[in-house]
A and B are shown apart, each in its own frame.
Chain A
């Protein structure tokens, strides 16, 4: 398939580029890994000094947190960079080159956003999940994977939305900053927050799907009505993202960039 070929070719090129700066690559991964260790560190200390976080054993929390790192890492690896790279392209005037290619802009941008610096995070997330020590059965696993998929789709939708913002407004550092701070709320389970926050991160900006709901689904604590509504939210969020992107492209081609 052409999409796969384009992606692999770009990956190959990026790999060559990254390997030319090996030390930086290593340092970058190290710094990301260190900041990712912080929250589990605090969690471990909390369990060391107190009965712990309500509703979660330490290994359950680690599974939750590992999932968080894994999904953010995956998103950062495959498609989050699309947003700031597009912002840069639009600012310099390189965005037209996207429109002049025989490939849908959304596909073009998605396939050429890989950021190899995030590979460490993906691996770390996977490790934490595997080492969390939680036992599982096939049903739990399949629920978990289902919502993991939803979480990844939510992150992709978010990337598309940020990219649309970049195409429309060009200077979007502020929006990135807001998203980053809101992202910090994913480091701890949604169940800890008050109702308004839970609502916001479930229905408005479904960050809950990134790690909380997959982990919750894993422990079999979700009702079927909740499951259905979460799937629906994921689908709607994705459709919204696609519409926003379409709108951004239409605006750009009408206003001339």
Chain B
């Protein structure tokens, strides 16, 4: 299939930058260290067994998984879209039999194929061996994979939607950075959402962003229910509609203006 060929091509092309990827493998787990030290000292200082329902090992596992899921759901699409518009490649992509969305999707899978061996595996390994992260049951692992998949799709669609703004705004670096930081915060990447005071927590719960990180991590601990699954699918549908709407607008606008 031509589409999978694209994914493979991206993966093998990227291997040319070998040094970069060795670095990734080391740097991502290193980021755990800061939070490891932080929480170890907080738990020790307070003589605490649980914080917001998490034991120390739970907490560490949370951060390890935060990095893992973050790497799995990562997309750099917005910058690509901006570049493609400026360079004129976007026109090419728009006139191919594949839709632009499909093109980016399979290209992104290529990168994800790399992310698994280079980031996920070292991070999990070091997480277990060095930092004391916890293993989980096989069923929970499956749940974790399922919700991670949903998170990947959702983040992909959201990024495509935001990326489309490049058609109108030309330069969207700052906006994208703002979006990534906001998503990181709202999805529970910085801390488990249980730490939030009740009122704020309720707000976070209403938003779809917890499905990007928080819910997959909860799945790892086996703390998800059917309602999470159904709601997440609902949100994916919603983001899909947003993506379709804005890109239809973008096609119109772009074709009208031309290069």
Do A and B touch each other in the complex, judged by CB within 8 A?
A: yes
Residues of A that sit less than 8 Å from B by CB: 21, 24, 27-28, 30-32, 34-35, 38, 41-42, 45-46, 48-54, 173-174, 177-178, 181, 184-185, 187-188, 192-194, 197
Distance in Å: Cβ of B118 to nearest Cβ of chain A: 14
B9 at the A/B interface (Cβ < 8 Å)?
Answer: no
What is the number of contacts between chain A and chain B, taking CB atoms within 8 Å?
Answer: 89
Tell me how far the C-beta of B203 lies from the nearest C-beta in chain A, rounded to whole angstroms. 14
Query: In the bound complex, do residue A181 and residue B30 qualify as a contact, i.e. CB atoms below 8 Å apart?
Result: yes
Minimum Cβ distance to chain A for residue B24 (Å): 8
Indicate if B257 sits at the interface (CB-CB under 8 A).
Answer: no
Complex A-B: 16 CB contacts under 8 Å: A27-B178, A30-B178, A34-B181, A35-B177, A38-B190, A48-B195, A49-B52, A50-B48, A53-B45, A178-B23, A185-B34, A188-B37, A192-B37, A193-B37, A194-B37, A197-B37
Q: Are A50 and B42 in contact (CB under 8 A)?
A: yes
Cβ contacts under 8 Å, B249 to chain A: none
Q: How large is the interface on B (under 10, 10 to 19, 20 to 34, 35 or more residues)?
A: 20 to 34
Please, which residue of chain A has its CB at the minimum distance from the CB of B200? A45
A51 and B175 within 8 A (CB): no
- Checking B45, B173, B184 against A54 with a beta-carbon cut-off of 8 angstroms, the contacting residue is B45
Q: Shortest 10 CB-CB distances between A and B: which pairs?
A: A54-B45, A27-B174, A31-B178, A28-B174, A31-B177, A51-B46, A45-B195, A35-B181, A50-B46, A192-B37
Task: Scan residues 13-43 of chain B and give those whose CB is less than 8 A from a CB of chain A.
Answer: 19-20, 23, 27, 30-31, 33-34, 37-38, 41-43
**Chain A nearest CB, measured from B119 CB (Å):** 13
Q: Would you give the shortest CB distance from A130 to chain B, in whole angstroms?
A: 24
Query: Is A42's CB under 8 angstroms from B190's CB?
Result: yes
Task: Decide yes or no whether B51 CB sits under 8 A from chain A.
Answer: yes
Give the complex CA separation of A177 and B31 in angstroms.
12
Q: Does B199 lie at the interface of the complex (its beta carbon under 8 Å from any beta carbon of A)?
A: no
Report the Cα distance A141→B111, complex, angstroms.
50
Which listed residue (A30, A48, A184) contacts B34, Cβ 8 A?
A: A184
Which B residues touch A46, using CB under 8 A?
38, 42, 195
User: Who on chain A is nearest to B43 by CB?
Assistant: A50
How far, in angstroms, from A193 to B190 measured CA to CA in the complex? 19
B185 at the interface (CB under 8 A from A): yes
**Is B44 positioned at the interface, with any CB of A under 8 Å from its CB?**
yes
A50-B48, A53-B45, A194-B37 known; 19 other A-B pairs, CB under 8 Å? A24-B171, A28-B173, A30-B178, A31-B177, A31-B178, A32-B177, A41-B190, A46-B42, A49-B195, A52-B42, A52-B46, A54-B42, A54-B45, A174-B19, A174-B20, A174-B23, A178-B27, A188-B34, A197-B33
B197 contacts the other chain (CB 8 A): yes
Tell me if B191 counts as interface (CB < 8 A to partner A).
yes
Verify if B182 is at the interface (C-beta below 8 Å from A).
yes
Complex interface: chain B residues within 8 A of A51 (CB) = 45-46
B121 CB → nearest A CB, Å: 19
Chain B residues lying within 8 Å of A173, measured Cβ to Cβ, are 20
B197 proximity list for chain A (CB < 8 A): 48
Complex partner residue of A31 from B48, B181, B191, B195, CB under 8 angstroms? B181
Q: CA–CA, A35 to B178, complex, Å?
A: 8
